[in-house]
Each structure stands twice: as C-alpha cells, then as structure tokens.
Amino acid sequence: MSKITECYILNGEGSKKETRHIVFDLGDSGLDYKVGDALGVFGENPESTVDLLIETAGWDKDQLVTTQNGKKRLRDALKKDVEIHRVNKKYVNSLSQKISTDGMRITVKLIERYRESVAGNGSAWMGGDTPLEAELLPSIPGDDPTGRVESITADGKAMEDYIWSRDYIDVLRDFDVSYTAEEFIELADRLKPRLYSIASSHDAHPGFVELTVAIVRYSHHGRDRGGLCTVYMADEVEINKSDVGVFMSPTKSFVLPADTSTDIIMVGPGTGIAPFRAFMEQRVHDGGTGKNWLFFGDQSEKTEFYYKDTIEDWMDEGNLYRFTTAWSRDQEEKIYVQHRLKEHGAEVWEWFERGAYFYICGDKTYMAKDVHRALIEIAMEHGGMSLDDATFFIEKTMMREEKRYLRDVY
Ligand SMILES: Cc1cc2nc3c(=O)[nH]c(=O)nc-3n(C[C@H](O)[C@H](O)[C@H](O)COP(=O)(O)OP(=O)(O)OC[C@H]3O[C@@H](n4cnc5c(N)ncnc54)[C@H](O)[C@@H]3O)c2cc1C
Ligand SMILES: NC(=O)c1ccc[n+]([C@@H]2O[C@H](COP(=O)([O-])OP(=O)(O)OC[C@H]3O[C@@H](n4cnc5c(N)ncnc54)[C@H](OP(=O)(O)O)[C@@H]3O)[C@@H](O)[C@H]2O)c1
C-alpha cells in the first residue's frame, strides 16, 4: 500500500486534455525500481457509481458476498473487487435468460434512434409522412426485449456498440431484469490493476515513484464517467491519506545502454514522455558522456508542454543535447514526431551509424507504427538501402540482434 503525495494537472489553461503528474510515496514498503520499469496500480470504483448500482439493482449494501478476495460487504466488493464501470459481454449474453416478455423500458430512445437512421437514409420520412409511433414500434427489429437482446448478442459489432457506452446501471435501466448480488459478482470482471511507465529515477527521488497519466473522461447517457484507474487517482484518492495498492512491474528489455557513453534517441509524444523523464534523470545522475536527443509532441505548445522547466534546465546544463518538438494542432496541417524524425533523417542516421540506441514510448495503435515506418524510410533515404534491406536493418539488426531499438508502447 502506498500514499499519493501529489497529483497535479500538467496541462495549461484551455487544454482539451487532462494529463497529471502523480507521485507515490513508497514509505517503508521496501519496493525498489529501475528506469524503464512500470508501476501497477489497483484502482477502485467511485462510491457514487457503487451506490447508484446498488440502488438501481435493489440490493442491500451490507449483504455479505464472496469475491476473489474473500467474504465482504457488498459495497466494499463493488468498490474494490469487480469492474463495474463498463458492462461486459458475459452479462449482456446472460440477459436473454433473465428477461420477461414485457420487460424493456424502450420507446422514446428507440423511436428517436429509428427516426435518425431513417432520416439519415434520406427516405420518405423526411418528406413529412410521419407514421404514428404506435405503427412504427412493431416494425423496429428487437422492439421486444428478447428480440433486442438477440439483435445485440447475435452480431459482434452490435455487441461492441452496445457495451461501448454503457455500464450495468444503463443496462438495468434499459431492461427490466433482476440479478442477485451473488449472480452479479459471478458475471462481472475481476478488477484488474493498470500499468504505468515510471517517470522518475529512484536515484533522483529515493522512496518515491512518479507517473505521467492521461485521465480518461467521457460522458454517455447523461452521466459523466471515465477510466477506472485514472479517475480513481484523479478524483477519489485523498492526498497523503488513502491507501493505494501498487506493485512494481520490472522490464527486462526497455533499459538504458549499459555503457553510459552511448548516445540515445527517445521518441515519446503525449504520456510517452514518462519513461524518458526517468531516463534523463538517470543519465544526469550517472554522469556519462553519451548524448541524449528527445522527440516530444502533443496537441499544443501552450497547453501540453509537459515538464517544460525541467527540459529547459537539462538543455541549459548540456544534459539534453537535442530537443525536437511536434505540436500537432498549432498549425493547419498535423505535425507528428515521425515528421520531425524524417526532417532530421540525415542526423538520425548518423547517430544510428555511431551505435545510438532508439527508444519509443506511447500509443501503440498508430504512433508507434508510423514511427517504425519513418525509421525504415530514413534507412532507405540516408543509408541508401532497398526497402527489404532497410526493413531488415531496422527490424532484425537494430531491434532483434543489437537490441538497440526498444519499445514501451500501449
Ligand atoms: C506497459 C504500459 C504502460 C503504460 N503507461 C502509461 C502511462 O505512462 N501513462 C498513461 O496515461 N497510461 C499508460 N498506460 C495505459 C494505462 O495502463 C491504462 O490503460 C489507462 O490509464 C486507462 O486506464 P483506466 O483504468 O483509467 O481506463 P479503463 O477503465 O481501462 O478504460 C479505458 C478504456 O475506456 C474506453 N474509452 C475511452 N474513451 C471512451 C469513450 N469516449 N466512450 C466509451 N469508452 C471509452 C476505451 O475502450 C479504453 O480502452 C500504460 C499501459 C501499459 C500496458
Ligand atoms: N492503446 C491505448 O489504449 C492508448 C494508447 C495511448 C493513449 N491512449 C489514450 O489516449 C489518451 C491520450 O493519450 P496521450 O496523452 O498519451 O496522447 P496521444 O493521444 O497519444 O497524443 C499525443 C500526440 O500524438 C499525436 N498523434 C496522434 N496520432 C498520431 C500518429 N499516428 N503518429 C504520431 N503522433 C500522433 C497527437 O496528435 P492529435 O491528437 O492532434 O492527432 C498528439 O499530438 C488517453 O486517454 C490515453 O489513455 C490509449
């Protein structure tokens, strides 16, 4: 158990994002870490959601239930042991066995959605030939609860669409179904910890571990909600008071070069900057001669220049040799880190030829793939390689054999 001692927003005023710097006190836990490691954090569901679920389902909050963590009061179990913020497929699939023939509280929403879809198709509906709702209802597929559950569960996309914006409270409001608390605990997912790339060096901050966290918030069906762990850290935890469950998740591969004279290039847009703040702190502490080049980017320089003062100090003191930014929304066209890498392709290639390590952290789905492609293009353009040779060099030589192209992507 750890305490959060600081949890402040890094974005400037007017930002569309909420990215926080969060500091955990490791106290006398004996936990240790190295740069590149991740911290596992056990979040908890918000009390307000737990209470609303208990009320909507008609359960007794003090009833005893058994979870993976033993026997406890229902309210505690719903707070700490199961994920209640997003409905899972298992629960939706179980609805068909629970539903009574007249059990769905549809009507208005379903009719509205039907109207939108008809209007979107440019059909006669737009011409003002509006059928009465009573005439419309029977023609809507799944307008009986059983039919609707079937239309959701029979089609993978319909299921994804249904669960995307809903939690169990929404489902209980959509369908007139009743589950005992024990049945619910059985169906709901166990609460899983989330991992965060550590943004500090233990040598620079003995006894503490620091994170850079993008808080996930959104609103659906008239209620504000968000990510389980990030909202917990941002809204629920009391500074220096709440006990927060954490563990270390050590890395074997995402490590600094053993030789401190080796140059490194770090690419970390958004929260991807986290491990590179840690790397920089460690490189400063270790005092080697290797040069450091950081590529960072996010939406706007004015609002997303995380750790600006620290970065400027590293530059002033000669610890950060190069710092290249990509502010994606400060101009008409998008500028991303891979564009900057390619602009500096000749120099990046020189660094590679001198044996530099290349690190990337952040979004796995788009950014990491685009940066990977940019590296292959740099090898072609500046190394004079064919596509096959460049791909081999980046993916086999640098990544697998020499292990100097390292990724922490999520
Ligand atoms: C190795 C590793 C390192 C990581 N490091 C970091 C880090 O340094 N910083 C960081 O911020 N994160 C990091 N992450 C991500 C982190 O682990 C969590 O996944 C993230 O914080 C979200 O957790 P959560 O519990 O708040 O959200 P969850 O409850 O897990 O919800 C997230 C999910 O919400 C859904 N969602 C998002 N927007 C909407 C919407 N508008 N409507 C409906 N659903 C939506 C998406 O399906 C998304 O996957 C890392 C992950 C890994 C694996
Ligand atoms: N796999 C995941 O679950 C995952 C991974 C990363 C982040 N996220 C979530 O995304 C939210 C914010 O994350 P974040 O703050 O780390 O930043 P981010 O959303 O990854 O954005 C950081 C910067 O990267 C830019 N970007 C977008 N697409 C890109 C691409 N293809 N190549 C290169 N750069 C690209 C963004 O530009 P624009 O926005 O202007 O396009 C922005 O300037 C959080 O909610 C986080 O949880 C989820």
Residue 150 is encoded by which pair of tokens? Answer: 């079937």
Distance CA 157, CA 163 (A): 10
Q: For residue 318, how far is its CA from the centre of ligand 1 (angstroms)?
A: 35
**Taking Cα atoms as reference points, which of 252, 276, 253 lies closest to residue 199?**
276
Q: For residue 295, how far is its CA from the centre of ligand 1 (angstroms)?
A: 23
φ, ψ at 325 (rounded to 5°) = -110, 155
pLDDT of residue 99: 83
Residue 278 is encoded by which pair of tokens? Answer: 């840690």
Residue 405 is encoded by which pair of tokens? Answer: 């192209």
Residue to probe by mutation, ligand 2, list 327, 363, 369, 407, most atoms within 8 Å of CB = 363
Q: Which ligand number lies closest to the CA of residue 160? A: 1
- Please name every residue paired with 223 in a beta bridge, in sequence order, or none if there are none: 220
Which residue's alpha carbon is nearest to atom 26 within ligand 1?
A: 227
Distance CA 310, CA 129 (A): 65
What would the 3-class secondary structure string for 223-265 be?
EEEECHHHHHHHHHCCCCCCCECEEEECCCCCCCCCCCCCCEE
Residue ranges around ligand 1 (CB below 6 Å): 38, 43, 85, 164-165, 194-197, 211-214, 216, 218, 227-230, 271, 274, 410
Domains in the chain: boundaries:
3-40+193-249, 51-104+144-187, 264-409
| 151-179-226-88 Cα dihedral, nearest 10 degrees | -50
Region 51-104+144-187: CATH code: 1.20.990.10
Distance CA 65, CA 70 (A): 8
Q: Is the CB–ligand 2 distance for residue 218 below 6 Å?
A: no
Strand, helix or coil at 266?
strand
Say which DSSP state 70 is in: E
pLDDT of residue 145: 83
Q: Is the CB–ligand 2 distance for residue 365 below 6 Å?
A: yes
Atom of ligand 1 at shortest range from CA of 43: 25
Q: Is the CB–ligand 2 distance for residue 366 below 6 Å?
A: yes
Q: For residue 386, how far is its CA from the centre of ligand 2 (angstroms)?
A: 31
Atom of ligand 1 at shortest range from CA of 213: 11
**Taking Cα atoms as reference points, which of 395, 396, 399, 307 lies closest to residue 359?**
399
Region 264-409: CATH code: 3.40.50.80
Which residue's alpha carbon is nearest to atom 22 within ligand 2?
A: 270
Q: Is the CB–ligand 2 distance for residue 52 below 6 Å?
A: no
- pLDDT tens readout for residues 45-79: 999 999 999 999 999 999 999 999 999 999 999 99
- Please name every residue paired with 296 in a beta bridge, in sequence order, or none if there are none: 325
pLDDT of residue 143: 62
**Taking Cα atoms as reference points, which of 357, 387, 353 lies closest to residue 253?**
357
pLDDT of residue 117: 56
Per-residue pLDDT of the chain (410 residues; tens, 9 = 90+): 999 999 999 999 999 999 999 999 999 899 999 999 999 999 999 999 999 999 999 999 999 999 999 999 999 999 999 999 999 999 999 999 988 644 444 444 444 555 555 555 444 333 333 443 434 333 344 467 888 899 999 999 999 999 999 999 999 999 989 999 999 999 999 999 999 999 999 999 999 999 999 999 999 999 999 999 999 999 999 999 999 999 999 999 999 999 999 999 999 999 999 999 999 999 999 999 999 999 999 999 999 999 999 999 999 999 999 999 999 999 999 999 999 999 999 999 999 999 999 999 999 999 999 999 999 999 999 999 999 999 999 999 999 999 999 999 99
Q: Which fold has domain 3-40+193-249?
A: Elongation Factor Tu (Ef-tu); domain 3 (2.40.30)
Q: What is the arrangement of strands in the sheet containing 3-9, beginning at the earlier edge strand?
A: 3-9, 19-25, 208-214
